[in-house]
């Protein structure tokens, strides 16, 4: 767009000898696609087919707390506060720490997983991790875990790990949680970012009647 405007300015001002002017050109508004969201039933199916306890704990933690994949792999064991039922997300996007909810079911599977795998520092550690040199779990591996489950279940939506975060927010909204609390849990700076979920939710759709159904056909 800017190259086109510059070419026009050059033609009229240099070639045609016109006076210099400021040309205001309205930029086209970039369309923002709504994120893909899973239903609660689809999330249930994904978690049910994920049999590996570590893999299931990873997916449950992401969904139940609305975490970004980078936040999940950076979680440390000390960030799980079972007394206050909170997860501390340290150095999240925007460099601000925040707290999000710790699900009772997630806590239970995390306790089972920790007892079994005995991670050293990070909540989820990768191969070769030691007490001296703890290794974060691979984000690529997390994507593979989810993709495998989605394929087994037969979900045709374009599902990524971030879809679980979107689904968390949408399901909270559908269950009546105030947008301000959802904004805080997700760590959004602006409420406008959180408001996108009001365009995704299907809550109340069953009470809307198409005007076509009222026509005397």
Enumerate the active-site residues.
68, 93, 162, 165, 188, 197
Among the listed residues 196, 146, 167, 169, the one whose alpha carbon sits nearest the alpha carbon of residue 100: 169
Pairwise CA distance, residues 196 & 36, whole Å: 12
The angle, 0 to 180 degrees and rounded to 10, between the axes of the packed helices 161-174 and 53-65 is: 50
Residue 134: φ, ψ to 5°: -70, 140
């Amino acid at each position: 767009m800017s190259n086109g405007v510059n070419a026009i300015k050059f033609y009229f001002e240099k070639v045609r000898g016109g006076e210099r002017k400021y040309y205001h050109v309205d930029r086209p508004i970039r369309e923002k696609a709504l994120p893909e969201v899973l239903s609660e039933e689809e999330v249930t199916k994904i978690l049910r087919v994920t049999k590996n306890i570590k893999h299931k704990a990873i997916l449950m933690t992401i969904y139940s707390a609305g975490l970004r994949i980078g936040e999940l792999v950076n979680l440390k064991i000390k960030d799980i506060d079972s007394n206050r039922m909170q997860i501390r997300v340290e150095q999240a996007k925007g460099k601000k720490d925040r707290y999000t909810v710790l699900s009772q079911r997630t806590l239970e599977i995390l306790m089972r997983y920790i007892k079994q795998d005995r991670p050293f520092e990070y909540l989820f550690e990768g191969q070769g991790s030691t007490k001296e040199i703890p290794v974060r779990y691979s984000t690529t591996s997390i994507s593979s875990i989810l993709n495998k489950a989605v394929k087994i279940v037969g979900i045709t939506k374009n599902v990524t790990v971030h879809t679980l975060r979107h689904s968390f927010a949408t399901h909270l909204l559908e269950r009546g949680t105030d947008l301000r609390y959802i904004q805080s849990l997700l760590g959004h700076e602006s409420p406008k970012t959180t408001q996108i979920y009001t365009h995704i939710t299907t809550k109340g759709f069953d009470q809307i009647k198409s005007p076509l159904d009222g026509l005397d056909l």
